[in-house]
Amino acid sequence: MSATQVMPPASPNSSEIPAKRTLTTKPRFSDKVFRGVVTGGGLSSLIILGLILGYLLYQGYSTLHSEGFKFITGSDWHAVIDDNGVFDPKNSHFGLAAMLIGTLVIATIAVCIGVPISVGAAIYLTFYAPNSIKKFMVALIDLMAAFPSILFGLWGFFVLESSGEYWARLLHKYLGFIPFFKMEVPYYSRSPFIAGLVLAIMIIPIVTSISREIFSQTPLDRIQAAYALGATRWAMIRAVAFPYARSGVIGGAMLGLGRAMGETVAVYTVLNIVYQVNWHVLISAGGNVASMILQKFGEASPAEVKALMAAGLILFIVTLIINSLADLIVARAGKSGR
């Protein structure tokens, strides 16, 4: 090895050895800018959520202050305007309980119907479907995710209504002994049950595509190991796919729940919105917080708008709590699953 081959061409005064390159973990200027920008972008969600909370609290404070706890537990909503056209705070009552219950009931129906269907469909598409069918179905379901919510509303009103009534009638006939399905007058249309059905269909694409993505990531070696041990497809799914995908599927279901709780227009279109506490899902009256806000907003006086802002605040907080709970469950399920 001669030095002339390895060394770079000698510069005029290269008799001394070049200084050692300094190694550093300090980020360069470009990296600092990059990190700053990205962190700023990342923090924007914090800022936006904080602003939403702050502004809704600011606008709704007077109502929350005057109603106190009764805003959540009470179920009267009367904005009284006296003869002079002035808002009368003494006789006005704002209590959100009826609509909170309605929100819970409708979203629960939606999740109970929608999630099993979605997870089943996801499993079929991942583990059963032949490739050609799979491609087509996946495209179709992804497409459904792009359908606007008002389309579901109109479709629910004009098309699903009749089948919904049909199922409602059956539920009443055969399961009428369960208190939820009790009803006095046989008038089945525009009920929370039908609203729940529409929402169930609305959350199918999201839950399906998330579950499908998770199922398709099931490690192939474990699948083949299960088959090699003589498992049937169901045994393989139960032993390998379910534990692997559990957290992701729960995450998808929670996302569906969140969407079902906040849905406004589809519920407004399908449901006969009546301000009352209604546990009986087949009776043609009910509502959820979001659709109630939309319904009352049009002809609301400034004072009632403040109450609606407070209602929005409650809805916001409830959905935040649901999502946080979902996060916790997912985190825990993820640990046990792998």
Residue numbers 61-80 binding other proteins by CB under 8 A: none
Q: What is the DSSP string of 103-140?
A: HHHHHHHHHHHHHHHHHHHHHIIIIIS-HHHHHHHHHH
Distance from C-alpha of 333 to C-alpha of 327, rounded to nearest angstrom: 10
Q: Does 158 bind other proteins (CB under 8 A)?
A: yes
Restricted to residues 268-307, the positions that interact with other proteins (CB under 8 A) are 269, 290, 293-294, 297
Tell me the site size for other proteins, rule CB under 8 A.
98
Residue nearer to other proteins on the CB measure, 13 or 30: 30
Sole window of 12-20, 93-101, 161-169, 276-284 interacting with other proteins (rule: CB under 8 A): 161-169
- Interacting residue with other proteins among 145, 175, 178, 229 (CB under 8 A): 145
Nearest C-alpha neighbor of 223 from the set 250, 209, 242, 251 = 242
What does the DSSP assignment read for 140-193? HHHHHHTS-HHHHHHHIIIIIHHHHHHHHHHHHHHHTTSGGG--SS---TT-HH
CB of 204 or CB of 283, closer to other proteins: 204
Among 143, 175, 178, 229, binds other proteins (CB under 8 A): 143
**Closest approach of other proteins to the CB of residue 128, in Å:** 6
Cβ closer to other proteins: 33 or 86? 33
* Rounded CA separation 2/6 (Å): 7
Cβ at position 244, least distance to other proteins in Å: 15
CA-CA-CA-CA torsion for 34, 37, 42, 47, nearest 10 degrees?
160
Shortest distance (Å) from residue 240 CB to other proteins: 14
Q: Residue 94: in which H helix or E strand, if any? A: strand 93-94
* Spatial separation of the C-alpha atoms in residues 177 and 243, rounded to whole Å: 37
Cβ 93 to other proteins, closest distance in Å? 21
Q: Which of 39, 73, 91, 216 binds other proteins (CB under 8 A)?
A: 39
Please identify, among the stretches 5-13, 63-71, 239-247, 252-260, the one whose residues bind other proteins according to the rule CB under 8 A.
252-260
245 within 8 A of 214, measured Cβ to Cβ: yes
Residue 236: its H or E element: helix 233-236
Binders of other proteins among 206-235, rule CB under 8 A?
A: 208, 213, 232-235
Stretch that binds other proteins, among 76-84, 135-143, 239-247, 274-282 (CB under 8 A): 135-143
